[in-house]
Amino acid sequence: MIDDILKLGINEMANLNFDCYCGKTHKVHIENIIVNESALKDLERVLAGFKDKSIFLVADKNTYKVCGEKIEKELKKKRYNLKSYVFYTNSDLVPDEKSIGRLIIEVPKNTSLILAIGSGTINDICRFISYKLDIPYIIVATAPSMDGYASTVSPLIVEGFKMTYEAVYPKAIIADTNILKEAPLEMIHAGFGDILGKYTSLTDWKLSKIINNEYYCQTTVNLVEKAREKCVENAERIKNRDEKIIRQLTEALIVSGIAIGFIGYSRPASGAEHHLAHYWEIAALRNNQSHPLHGNSVGAATLVVSMIYQLMKDKIPNEIDLPDPEYIISIHEKVGSIYNPRDLGIPEEVFADSIIHAREIRNRYTILQLAYENNLLEKFSKILTEEFY
């Protein structure tokens, strides 16, 4: 039974419940996962139980144009009880106290369902509100840009720091690949960067298992690796917005979120590469500067972390397969994504400091912590800064 989990299609993972070799019972509390070329047509079926209840549609100015307005018109035409709120911001929407507070002000008191239209920020905000107010939410994906669609946590900016908060699964995920393939290429690259990050996040997890005897689930690892390799095998087709690879990318991103739900925290999907990306983002926010999309930072940071593994190869347990920087670069080049932090716009000083201090972002054992224990972070900071800058 457990081995069959790896053979399931993404739609079959909805409502999944099984006892794993790792000793845990893994559950997926998502009622519907729909990823195909006409997924939007299934929205009314998914909403059937809410026809006579109050639905609160949430979008930003971009996702409202992509499909939010169309969905709003169709549901109102069919007499759904629908209220909408669209974030019209001059700059990029940020998942912080201001946007969360604004949404709490706008949500009608009798709301039975939140209908989120968007990707990273909209999903994170609505997931957190869903959890706090105990109102189920459905996400209609507009870009294959991050792995949080099926996650149970929300990364939020609070008092200038990016922290991960407990949240809840969506009731349903609707991912129409005809919509997703038209997303800006930068966002598609961001999603691919998030998937590339699994090369180092899974290595970090195994490192901690060996050194600290941390809980480790091989079934979850196998699931994420399989989804990752499907994307990597067809990486060169991303730049052409090929529907099949966009679907595989979206499915891999959803699987990554499901893996987080299996474990109860983000270990299978997030390691040192995410710590570096978070550090760069926080530094930009503190200075009121723009920053790359999270997944684009993760993609570049994956190369950096793979280089740290190579620099420390004499101190890594033999059971661990080291991530290969040249291989990571070759995948980036196939996709056409940026892999040099300098080219991504990360300031030299911020980059140098991140190698030394990014491990402080979260209490999680990664290669950065091992380097710290061996008094190597300052040395690596100089080596890598010279390499990239």
With a cut of 70, say whether residue 232 has pLDDT above it: yes
Which amino acid type is present at position 57? Answer: L
**What mean pLDDT comes out for the span 269-298?**
92
Q: What percent of the chain has pLDDT over 70?
A: 99
pLDDT above 70 for 2? no
Give 27-46 pLDDT, tens digit per residue: 999 999 999 999 999 999 99
Strand extents, DSSP E, 41-145: 54-60, 81-87, 111-118, 137-141
Tens-digit pLDDT profile for residues 360-376: 988 999 999 999 999 99
Q: Domains plus CATH for the chain?
A: 3-180 (3.40.50.1970), 185-217+268-388 (1.20.1090.10)
pLDDT band at 307 (very low <50, low <70, confident <90, very high): very high
Considering the chain, what percentage of its residues have pLDDT values greater than 90? Answer: 84
DSSP strands (E only) in the chain: 17-19, 25-27, 32-36, 54-60, 81-87, 111-118, 137-141, 153-158, 161-166, 172-176
| 3 has a pLDDT exceeding 80 | no
Pick the more confident residue, 165 or 310: 310
Which of 77-91, 110-124, 224-238 is modeled with the greatest confidence?
110-124
> Residue 113 — φ and ψ, nearest 5°?
-155, 135
DSSP state of 7: G
How far apart are alpha carbons 99 and 370 in whole angstroms?
Answer: 37
Ramachandran assignment for 206, one of left (phi > 0), alpha (psi -120 to 50 degrees), beta (any other): alpha
